[in-house]
Amino acid sequence: MELKEQTEALKIQLNRLNDKYENNAPPENKKDRQLFQKVKEETLPIYELLSTWEEDALKLIKERKINVHPQQITSTRENMELLLMHSYYIDVKRKRFMELNNSIHYIFDQLLREIE
Note if the pTM is more than 0.85.
Answer: yes
pLDDT tens track for 48-98? 999 999 999 999 999 988 889 999 999 999 999 999 999 999 999 999 999
In angstroms and rounded to an integer, the radius of gyration of the C-alpha atoms of the chain is 15
DSSP 50-67: HHHHHHHHHHHHHTTSS-
Domain ranges, residue 89: 3-115
CATH number, domain of 106, equals: 1.20.120.440
CA 28 to CA 84: how far, in whole Å? 18
Number of structural domains found in the chain: 1
DSSP class per residue in 72-104: HHHHHHHHHHHHHHHHHH--S-HHHHHHHHHHH
Mean pLDDT of the chain: 94
Q: Which of 43, 32, 41 is nearest to 87 (CA)?
A: 43
